[in-house]
Structure 1
Amino acid sequence: MSYTKLFEKGKIGRLELKNRIVMPAMGCSLASSTGEASQEMITYYAKRAKGGAGLIITEITRIDDETGIGTPNQLSVTDLKHIPQLTRLAEAVHAYNTKIFVQLHHPGNQTPSRLLHGKQIVSASDVTCSVIGEKPRALTTEEVEGLVKKFVFGAYVAKAAGIDGVELHAAHGYLLDQFMSPHTNKRTDRYGGDFLGRMRMITEIIKGIQATCGPTYPISVRMDGAEYISDGIDQAEGIKIAKYLESLGIQALNVSCGTYESGYTIVEPAMLKEGWKADLARQIKANVSIPVIAVNTIKHPAFAESLLEEDVCDFVGIGRGFLADAEWGTKAQKGQDLYIRKCIGCLECFRILNTLRPVECTLNPLLGREYHWDHLHKTGQHRKVAVLGGGPAGMEAAIVLAKRQFDVTLFEATDKLGGTMNLAAIPPHKELLGEFVETMAAQVEEAGVQVVYNTKATPEDLKEAGFEAIFMAIGGQPIVPNLPGIDQAITAESVLKGEHDLHDQKIVIIGGGVTGLETAETLAKDNQVTVIEMANQVGTTLYASYRGVLLKEMHDMGITIKTEHRLTHIEDHQVYTKHGDEDVAFEADTVVLAMGVKPKREALEDFEKVFDQVILLGDTDHPGQIREALHSAYDRAFVFDLG
């Protein structure tokens, strides 16, 4: 398919862009400990430039070392010493005719004091962000004036380094938004009060940048079309802000929405569909004449094209899409949509960042360490390697091994690739996992891997055929505890496979992990469902906003969740549990076990007798989520050596 609008040239001010694709700012925590652009960060952005982004906007970039630290290993423009590495970053991106902006940022009350070395966090007023849970102090008038100068100095550093423009982060509840929003700005000095007072800080920053860097140096403002919080910026106020910012002579508006307190509106889980907030950008574009960049949970190139065709925006922001696949743009331009690993909205990227680690992606083991691929050792010499199992781990290992020039055959016991991902794609909102299976299968074929279906290969047959090593990725099997009456239960796996006709029943699901919760959603349409979990909460491996939306949906579907209940036995359509010292029974027509999986290793000993190298992957090695399966498979295939 041809995407005419998506790959049409565009302009932000006088700056010409090769297409309409913008990679918006996303935290990556890849800078050095002192804030320089590290080689890892430079390579990370360069790969997205090579992969088709017309404009890249860096992660939130620190303008103040005292109160403005938002993440560990954050890019910084607080000192002239940062210029050399920023210049290298700009040059790396420019090599692919891609432009780059630095996003200037201060977190305000949306950062923990531990990142400020124990200093109290600051804000426009002493309004606490409920997510952070720490009371900030209101900045003095003199401190606000000082921060204005630091934003301007940050822009000066960026321009001196050869950066093409800057973006002011005035959205998502960060400091500039805290001054603009009546929810957080209760000031009585000139930086508070009426609309113009609340806009004064960003006004002074914009005018300062124009005076320092020149009136045509591109300035974009990332703003909220709406905050989705009480007494915050609503859609009408968002339009008013956009028109005012345009009057100041900025070159672009980057429209997003939400704050930490509105949760999922900033980083949407899989439940929110592509384009759910398109109207925010559409209304702002209808009221301004400068370019509008819009993020809209975009997964597919065709949807991005439609936003441009329908005049929703002038540029599309492809954020997590570029995390999942650095070549999102070039693959779209070549019509290779099938080969794009499309973000599945699991929010693992944000969960990992919240643990103060560099960003990771479930689907992309290379994220944050793109330099690995430049050092891929193609030492396979076409020696024969077998991969047993066509789930995510098996497919990822097969792809990497084939690209390392091993002769790879993948043996799959069923008639299709995907393994348990095929089951994981069945519950509501998991359709993108099904697309990911198709993408991986296409990449397996593209890599030149031979796939043999409906086959359980024996060690003797493989040895005779000349294979020298085995990658075993045959999955796991459901955990079934040795408890009285357990034979009366069925497994979540068998439910998702469609082996049971379950309608108008009282169903009790044992286990409140991801599988248990999603199985509950799958069954709730036609049944009365209760989830029993022995821990004090369910869905503990999920990112908070994903978990919150999922639990709300489950509540709305009438699903009952009981935590701190330990299964003791099943008898006569009753599930017996221990809740503290209390015995509690639940009526059940059907009991479903979702208590996790254990490795399948029955054949391991036989293979180890025949082969010197048997490498375990995925659930066969250590049961976990898709991210663990893909990443460990990539790592082991990357370093594998036959000797």
Structure 2
Amino acid sequence: MKRKFPNLSKPIRIGNVMFRNRMFSAPMGGTDITADFCIGPASKAFYELRAKGGAGAVTVSEVMVHGETDGSHAYHLDLSIPGSLASATYTADAIRRHGSIPSVELSHSGQFAGTYLADKTKKQSLTQWGVSPTVRADGIHVQPLTQEKINEIVQAYGEAAGLAKRAGFEMVMVHGGHGWLINQFLSPLFNKREDHYGGSLENRCRFAVEVLKSVRAAVGEGFPIEFRMSGSEFVEGGYDIAEGVEIAKRIEEYVDLIHVSAGTYQGTFGITHPSMFTEHGTNVFLAAEIKKQVKKPVATIGGLNDPAQMEEIIASGKADVVEMARALLADPFLPRKVMVNEDQDIVHCLRCFVCMAERAETTTRRCTVNPLIGRELEGTDIYPAPVKKKVVVVGGGPGGLEAAKTAAQRGHQVILFEKDAELGGILNCEAAIPFKYEMYQLGQTFAKQARDLGVDIRLNTAANKQNIEAEQPDALIIAAGSSPILPKLEGIDGPNVTLINNYHKKPDAIKDSVVILGGGLAGCEAAIHFARQGKKVTVVEMRKEVAPDANVRHRPLLIQELAKGVDVKTEHQGVRITSEGLWCLSPSNQEILIPAKSVVVAVGQRPNRSVAEELLDAAPFVVEIGDVVRASTITTAVYQGYHAAMDI
């Protein structure tokens, strides 16, 4: 067989272990942590799915090595905890039995202990230990680690590594990046010590070297040790790539794989986890620079999800391994699809941060495009229905397509009615915005999968009670979506006005100055796009803040992007549109003109209830999903579409 991506698909030996390909599942926090800090059954299933999907390695995250100085927000491996070793063993076995190499990330949060605790008030009761005495931004005092405590932590890394090996893990990752404890020692931003751990680079690397020696003594020669580091911290007072290279050279002899990430805990979330506003592979240059200077294999990470790009990274020698996290939530089977030349069926990560927002808010997992994530224990395989039925789906947006293809996978006869000339629904609106193109691509991928599964797709066919009843379906899934809200403003029908939903059909209609009526997520993202085109952009929002519908991880980055070139006017209400622009009522109730050659209306969506209400009795079993119920998100539509089909 000739592989389309031969370099990605090629095995690699790290230490004495052979990995089946160059695509690794990077550390992601699990979905349940027991009261005793063990890996819960839901987490075991969560990690196993990535192994089933073909990843070369799957890393469990995170094991906190020293509970006394690190108020845990994650797992422990500790023989004093009943079930700790057993839960780790079952997890390693669940990964290994699918041919993937199980790894575990060993960490210590240092002065940021308890960061991801669901109960944020508990952080106030933690004793925070760090490299140097300081006061955190949230007012919590940090005590410097004594030599005695440092020795204990170094020993604890080795003990945890030894237990991981006993449990069946075949690699360990030592977390030395992102502002956690080892990085706090490495970084001049945090490390103000005047002893043999501070000052020179040699001294700042001392703790990392001691930890790695402790781990090596516990696991033995040939057992792979992966060291995760920030190639550059990207903050004032931190280290840059030049010093990152020197750090890599100093730790190289003690490790088998150098995993190059980016950023630190303080203010670089969007760099460590590249958002949709950045180019894919934006951090690869860090790994490429380090690889020039070391002999050990190097891994790269950061918003990677395109096999062609990842193949080029390996082929050109920028890195030896590519690691993915969010991409393997969106499609756990991405590696397997790459290996068998089915890359056209990959469901790409949208970099929308729903997964990380859910993690921060509820300590669970959810993915916009994958309804199984975080709920793997409920089953990840779609089994044939015991009785095959005729199913009609109304609406070819993300929810309807998910429902149609899932029902087809179960063996049902599926007909999909779509009133427009193409599938994709509201996702088609994103085709003209480059950083949201993957949302458009999602609709196209779902459409391809539905066609490949034999769904009878009827375009340009509006559903009504007559044509649905004529099919005599056993089940009807109504995914008729929503329509844009059109405010009753004078001039709303003017030639200078474009509905946000129609922008992709006539992008050239937007002139060099534009005002956007509506500061929700859609309006703000369009504003960023127009500003990047060099246009003069103003967003008008009647509420006190913009983008309240954005999730807690995406919104801060969106606000940062707006600040680069968009004039935002909150508490302003549009009253009429003229050829001059948009007239508004200001907070002081004064009419003001916001001059612009183009006006884009993005005030929200309204469910297509009339369609749903007409069809409620058109089949014995009827279910409504997605926006037709309540204008919501892609996440909701996909999740409800999947389960509607599973219920038939």
What TM-score range do you get, normalising by the shorter chain?
over 0.9
Aligned 1:136-155 pairs, distance under 5 A: 136-155=142-161
Distance 1:568 1:211 in 2: 72
C-alpha distance 175-541 of structure 1, shift in aligned 2 (>3 A): farther
Matching residue within 487, 497, 509 for 2:505:
497
Compute the displacement of 1:423 (Å).
0.5
Is 1:441 the equivalent of 2:443?
A: no
Distance 1:381 1:253 in 2: 52
Matching residue within 19, 26, 29 for 1:27:
29
* Match of residue 536 from structure 2: 528
Flag as ranges the 4+ runs of structure 1 deviating above 6 A.
Answer: none
Matching residue within 215, 223, 228 for 2:229:
223
Distance 1:543 1:572 in 2: 35
Aligned 1:87-106 pairs, distance under 5 A: 87-106=89-108
Compute the displacement of 1:443 (Å).
1.3
Distance 1:304 1:58 in 2: 23
Greater displacement, 330-339 / 119-128: 119-128
Compute the displacement of 1:515 (Å).
1.1
Alpha carbons 1:255, 1:295 under 8 Å: kept: yes
Compute the displacement of 1:330 (Å).
0.7
Alpha carbons 1:61, 1:76 under 8 Å: kept: yes
Root-mean-square deviation (Å): 2.5
Is 1:410 the equivalent of 2:412?
A: no
Is 1:157 the equivalent of 2:163?
A: yes
Q: Which amino acid aligns with 2:213?
A: K
Aligned 1:154-553 pairs, distance under 5 A: 154-247=160-253, 249-260=254-265, 261-374=267-380, 376=382, 378-379=384-385, 381-482=387-488, 490-498=498-506, 501-504=509-512, 506-524=513-531, 525=533, 527-543=535-551, 546-553=554-561
Distance 1:231 1:265 in 2: 16
Greater displacement, 515-524 / 9-18: 515-524
Distance 1:234 1:165 in 2: 28
Deviations 1:592-623 (A, max 9, x none): 32111110011333212443433111111111
Alpha carbons 1:390, 1:473 under 8 Å: kept: yes
* Match of residue 17 from structure 2: 15
Alpha carbons 2:31, 2:365 under 8 Å: kept: yes
Aligned 1:109-128 pairs, distance under 5 A: 109-110=111-112, 111-112=114-115, 114=121, 116=123, 118-127=125-134
Alpha carbons 1:380, 1:407 under 8 Å: kept: no
* Match of residue 571 from structure 2: 564
Q: Which amino acid aligns with 1:55?
A: A
Matching residue within 624, 634, 648 for 1:626:
634
Distance 1:572 1:21 in 2: 54
Alpha carbons 1:269, 1:345 under 8 Å: kept: yes
C-alpha distance 508-2 of structure 1, shift in aligned 2 (>3 A): closer
Compute the displacement of 1:635 (Å).
2.6
Compute the displacement of 1:495 (Å).
3.1
| Identity, % of aligned positions | 30
C-alpha distance 202-631 of structure 1, shift in aligned 2 (>3 A): same
Count residues in correspondence.
634
What is the TM-score of this pair, normalised by structure 1?
0.92
Distance 2:340 2:136 in 1: 45
Compute the displacement of 1:450 (Å).
1.4
Specify every segment of 5 or more residues in structure 2 that has no aligned partner in the other structure, as ranges: none
Alpha carbons 1:428, 1:521 under 8 Å: kept: no
Q: Secondary structure at the match of 1:109?
A: helix
* Match of residue 42 from structure 2: 40
Alpha carbons 2:432, 2:507 under 8 Å: kept: no
Distance 1:330 1:46 in 2: 14
Q: Secondary structure at the match of 2:9?
A: coil
Distance 1:28 1:511 in 2: 37
Compute the displacement of 1:24 (Å).
1.2
Q: Which amino acid aligns with 2:34?
A: S
Deviations 1:303-329 (A, max 9, x none): 111111111111111222111111011
Deviations 1:534-559 (A, max 9, x none): 23332233356644544444444x42
C-alpha distance 487-626 of structure 1, shift in aligned 2 (>3 A): same
C-alpha distance 252-426 of structure 1, shift in aligned 2 (>3 A): same
Distance 2:373 2:288 in 1: 32
Greater displacement, 249-258 / 514-523: 514-523
Compute the displacement of 1:214 (Å).
2.2
Q: Secondary structure at the match of 1:518?
A: helix
Q: Secondary structure at the match of 2:350?
A: coil
Distance 1:66 1:586 in 2: 61
* Match of residue 51 from structure 2: 49
Compute the displacement of 1:466 (Å).
1.8
Greater displacement, 311-320 / 547-556: 547-556
Q: Which amino acid aligns with 1:469?
A: A
Greater displacement, 105-114 / 153-162: 105-114
C-alpha distance 586-548 of structure 1, shift in aligned 2 (>3 A): farther
Q: Secondary structure at the match of 2:344?
A: helix
Distance 2:199 2:598 in 1: 61
Greater displacement, 434-443 / 139-148: 139-148
Greater displacement, 449-458 / 30-39: 30-39
Compute the displacement of 1:339 (Å).
0.5
Q: Which amino acid aligns with 2:90?
A: R
Deviations 1:521-546 (A, max 9, x none): 44443743210122333223335664
Alpha carbons 1:427, 1:521 under 8 Å: kept: no
C-alpha distance 523-138 of structure 1, shift in aligned 2 (>3 A): same
* Match of residue 76 from structure 1: 76
* Match of residue 603 from structure 1: 611
Alpha carbons 2:30, 2:60 under 8 Å: kept: no
Q: Which amino acid aligns with 2:453?
A: A
Distance 1:560 1:592 in 2: 15
Q: Secondary structure at the match of 1:463?
A: helix
Alpha carbons 1:62, 1:78 under 8 Å: kept: no
Q: Which amino acid aligns with 2:57?
A: L
Distance 2:283 2:507 in 1: 39
Matching residue within 51, 61, 64 for 2:63:
61
Greater displacement, 565-574 / 187-196: 565-574
Alpha carbons 1:391, 1:475 under 8 Å: kept: yes
Distance 2:529 2:96 in 1: 48
Deviations 1:227-258 (A, max 9, x none): 111121211111111111113x2222111110
Compute the displacement of 1:193 (Å).
2.8
Q: Which amino acid aligns with 1:121?
A: Q
Compute the displacement of 1:99 (Å).
0.9
Compute the displacement of 1:371 (Å).
3.2
